[in-house]
A and B are shown apart, each in its own frame.
Chain A
Amino acid sequence: MEARYRGTSRQGQFIAERTWFHLCGIVGFTGEREAQEIVLDCLKRLEYRGYDSAGIAMISDGALTLKKSVGEISALESQIERMPGLTGIAHTRWATHGKPTTANAHPFTDCKGEYALVHNGILTNYMELKEQLIKRGHKFTSETDSEVLVHMLEEVAGADLKSKVLAVLKLVEGSYAIAVVQKGHDEIVAARNESPLIVGVGHDENFIASDVTAILKHTNEVIYLLDREAVRITPKGVELFDLNGVAFERDPKKVSWNLEDAEKSGYAHFMLKEIFEQPRAIHESLLGRLEGQEDDAFFKEQFTSIKILGCGTSYHAGLVGKYIIEELSRIPTNAQISSEYRYSPVTEAKPLVVCISQSGETADTLAAAREAKKRGCKTIAITNVLGSAITREADFVIYTRAGPEIGVAATKTFVTQLIALYLLGLRLGTIKNTISSERRREIVSEMRALPRIVQSVLNDAGKIEDFAKKYKCAQSMFFIGRHMNYPTSLEGALKTKEISYIHGEGYPAGELKHGPLALLSKDTPVVAICAADHTYEKMLGNVREVTARESPVLAIGVEGNQDLEKYAEDVFLVPKVDPLFSPIPIIVALQLFAYYLAIARGCPIDKPRNIAKTVTVE
């Protein structure tokens, strides 16, 4: 890989980077109802997984019909007429191999039009397979890795679809979640390896999908497939088996997410809805966890150091987590980006490794969790998705109870990840006896107050909207903070980049004078986080430093620090909290700021260009 991209031009670099982002969604339905509408409806709920092309294949009375299009699923929907049939599969794609074109969109069929297949993942040995297939006369219609699978189905021996699919999977390497249908058969065969796939169990109808949100409207009974497992669904039944064809049984789990959770509830965008759901999400995450959890056997071990791993927003949560855990438990803690972890040397002391992933399917974080296990470290997973891949890798799991997050920009999952880290810090601190019982009581009561504090910030959303309108023309913007709010500034900058396409740069305030001051001018607004803690005076100094360069300053402060108005042009005050918890109300204010900036600039909020929600390749 390294050699392939070395020395590429800027343009090349961009393409190379883009291929690292990958994610697709697949769904399948077989039952006694017309499948087309159901499949497309399910697929729409997976749009956040990628949306540069989509396609559907239907089985009806011995015919196999296929439709694909470029763009969002609504584009596909508008192009197709009614396709009859009780069985169908569909795919929403995020380009990895090959450009987003109709030809490259899934599903794919073989040369005879006997089978149709959808695939999410990357096949590592597809080049050689493809060459062999071409030599034997197969006609390829796309540039994708996925198409080899469907041509291989023609060649392998097997009595039925199930045994053919298993035979093909024996020959391929890489990651996949696939679903296959065959002309004249009301059945779907699906399998997974390192890509997410679930089975939805209904009455006289069954589903497969990349994740639960797709099928919740129809059923909440779900079977989670593990790696190297497969399933055959018919309207009447679900047969589970491993890749050797050995059948096994697993009971469905009831998923408590309601579909209403997955809809917008009157908010203009999912992101806004999710920002406003944060008080409830915090409340849920705290429920029953504020006391009496210290006796778990896992925490009996004495941890001498802690390493927190995550990507993107989860990494920022980890950076805040460093301060939280060190403050509460005095255990040396570091945060690292998941994909970099494997390059760090094995240390003599084995740190406790905390892996944070919203989806629990983030490939980089999964790989890091496996690496940590290999190194003999104990691991904790912090994730929002019950039964996701990372929960099977980790020794201990803390669930963030945020509910499904559809907006690509993480909001409520970030805040609940912080809650999970506060709870972890509190637990470690109680066990290590590094916090007094009085301080513990204070912390618990502060945590109970958090839902209301966040609600207060949300009630002031109108003020933030006004600030956003004022700053909407900025080309770039700095976010500065110190101590715990340095990572908050990084997260605020990331939100701004992701959805408003303004180049936001998070910086430790003390580092401004070591370089970035050169970039400041009256066209470069600075968002200064001035928490009411021991950094406050220093932050005022930084604000003066910035205003001296004529940069407009939006200061985010805490109620009681009204004197900020003397230093900064615009001031937004969040309710007073213990400094340990200041990142929570402040990030909520910055999320709203990024959201309203994007609104003012007319950006597509829930589906920003070039980024996807769950990144399932490394």
Chain B
Amino acid sequence: MKAVILAAGEGKRLRPFTYSEPKVMIPVANRSIMDYVVRSLVCNKITEIVMVVGYRKERIMSYFGDGDGFGAEITYVNQDKQLGNGHAVLAASEHIDGDFMILPGDSLIDARSVADLQSIGAGHGALVIESDMPAKYGVAILERNRISDILDRRGEGASNIVLAGAYKLPASFFDTLEICVEGGDYNLSHALKLYVQDIKIEPVFCQGLWIDAVYPWDLIEVNHAALANTPVQTAGTIETGVLIHGKVSIGKGTTIRAGTTLYGPIAIGLGCDIGPNVSIFSSTSIGDNVTIDPFSVIRNSVIMSDCSIGSHSMLSQSVLGYGVKVRSHLMASSADAFVNLEEEFYRVPNIGTLVGEDCSMGSGVSIEPGTIIGPKSRIMSGSKVSRNVPTGAIHS
């Protein structure tokens, strides 16, 4: 069986972390989200993969290549205009004959969920989940063991069973899809809605892991889940007097200096320089080429590659994009907060700060919980930031 992974979209809602990278390439536990999807497929012996790419496709293609490094054979299909996920699936049709799977490239999905979907044998199915989250792929109405209808959003009295975006379908689905797309409806779930009227699609309740990063703060949870399954590999130089508890992986060329304490699960990438006397707590991912200076404390955060964090900084429940530079004494603690995302307010429990790539901060910056700081912005020394900072802005 072949699998189609949808990876063409930008993931606008995940800004500021999709400024220069597609959503599927955002790192959690130091691997891109789609990396987990591909590995889950390969675990289930599904090695022929068609990736529909578009936004910043070069990033994806450089990462996965022809799939050899993953034990897969990857074919790329270019979706020039990201019209919708139905349009994207249709673009892959020429590479598909027989039953196939569709998976979103931007959700963390484990091998178990793929196995469950695969195990319905000759039948066809859709992965569903009970969730109060917004229904990105539609709400499923069930009738005995089949999906009888699909709604766009949860109406009155409707179920809380939503589609997870993963399907096992026969090739005949393309006929329905083509009619929809030619009619100008590019939404995959609309085509499915028509399709389930005639063909039996079973609901497959997700028993494994399935987490969709819809909002930027979801990355903290996705990272936590991913770290739980990250194998431990230790390389680099670990000086005497470093304390390591739990699962900690440390990459080649990294130096962990004396007096540093690491409470796993933690993943640290290549060529980092951490310490002396730094404390890092679970569940934290640190990318490649990151420096963390003495007396800093990091908790449950994602720090992407090329960041540098000056001494005496405190970072909790936060995400730093690529290349964020912090001089020293950054205060980014966490609390329950209202987060302003594109002028809509969301109540988020225990959230720190979300910093876009290449932001640079002076010394002694203090950031209110739940603040989003745009890419390439500059925060002057001694600033107190209590409101979102736009892309490229200077905050003093």
| A and B assemble together | yes
What is A's interface to B at a CB cutoff of 8 Å?
Answer: 258-261, 263, 265-267, 273, 276-277, 283, 286-288, 290-291, 445, 448-449, 451-452, 455-456, 459
Query: With A448-B289, A455-B20 given, is the CB distance from A266 to B68 under 8 Å?
Result: no
Q: How far is the CA of A286 from the CA of B306 in the complex (A)?
A: 12
Instruction: Find out whether the CB atom of A287 lies under 8 angstroms from the CB atom of B62.
Output: no
Q: How far is the CA of A112 from the CA of B358 in the complex (A)?
A: 69
Instruction: Find out whether the CB atom of A286 lies under 8 angstroms from the CB atom of B57.
Output: no
Smallest CB gap from B253: residue in A: A288
Instruction: Find out whether the CB atom of A266 lies under 8 angstroms from the CB atom of B61.
Output: yes
Please count how many residues in chain B sit with their CB below 8 Å of the partner chain's CB atoms. 31
Instruction: Find out whether the CB atom of A260 lies under 8 angstroms from the CB atom of B68.
Output: yes
Q: Does B329 contact A (CB under 8 A)?
A: no
Query: With A283-B271, A452-B322 given, is the CB distance from A259 to B62 under 8 Å?
Result: no
Contact of A288 among B66, B68, B252 (CB under 8 A): B252
Q: Does B259 contact A (CB under 8 A)?
A: no
Question: Given A287-B253, A288-B253, A452-B323, 7 more contacts at CB 8 Å?
Answer: A259-B68, A260-B64, A265-B62, A290-B273, A448-B306, A451-B306, A455-B323
- Which residues of the other chain, A, contact B78 by a CB distance below 8 angstroms? 266
Question: Mind listing 17 A-B residue pairs with CB under 8 Å?
Answer: A259-B65, A259-B68, A265-B65, A266-B58, A266-B78, A273-B62, A283-B271, A286-B271, A288-B253, A288-B271, A445-B291, A448-B289, A448-B308, A452-B306, A452-B323, A452-B358, A455-B323
CB distance from A77 to the nearest CB of B (A): 21
- Which residues of the other chain, B, contact A277 by a CB distance below 8 angstroms? 62
Smallest CB gap from A575: residue in B: B358
- Which residues of the other chain, B, contact A283 by a CB distance below 8 angstroms? 270-271, 288-289
Instruction: Find out whether the CB atom of A265 lies under 8 angstroms from the CB atom of B289.
Output: no
- Which residues of the other chain, B, contact A451 by a CB distance below 8 angstroms? 289, 305-306
Q: Does B325 contact A (CB under 8 A)?
A: yes
Q: Does B76 contact A (CB under 8 A)?
A: yes
CB distance from A402 to the nearest CB of B (A): 14
Within B275-331, which residues are at the interface with A (CB < 8 Å)? 288-289, 291, 305-306, 308, 322-323, 325
Contact of A287 among B61, B65, B271, B308 (CB under 8 A): B271
CB distance from B253 to the nearest CB of A (A): 4
- Which residues of the other chain, B, contact A459 by a CB distance below 8 angstroms? 20
- Which residues of the other chain, A, contact B270 by a CB distance below 8 angstroms? 283, 287
CB distance from A441 to the nearest CB of B (A): 11
CB distance from A18 to the nearest CB of B (A): 35
Q: Does B183 contact A (CB under 8 A)?
A: no
Instruction: Find out whether the CB atom of A273 lies under 8 angstroms from the CB atom of B271.
Output: no
Contact of A267 among B58, B273, B323 (CB under 8 A): B58
Please list the 3 inter-chain residue pairs (A to B) with the smallest Cβ-Cβ separation, ordered nearest first.
A260-B65, A452-B323, A288-B253
CB distance from A452 to the nearest CB of B (A): 3
Q: Does B339 contact A (CB under 8 A)?
A: no
Q: How far is the CA of A455 from the CA of B253 in the complex (A)?
A: 21
Smallest CB gap from B306: residue in A: A452
Q: How far is the CA of A445 from the CA of B325 in the complex (A)?
A: 11
- Which residues of the other chain, B, contact A267 by a CB distance below 8 angstroms? 58
Contact of B66 among A259, A273, A452 (CB under 8 A): A259
Smallest CB gap from A262: residue in B: B65
- Which residues of the other chain, A, contact B325 by a CB distance below 8 angstroms? 449
Instruction: Find out whether the CB atom of A273 lies under 8 angstroms from the CB atom of B58.
Output: yes
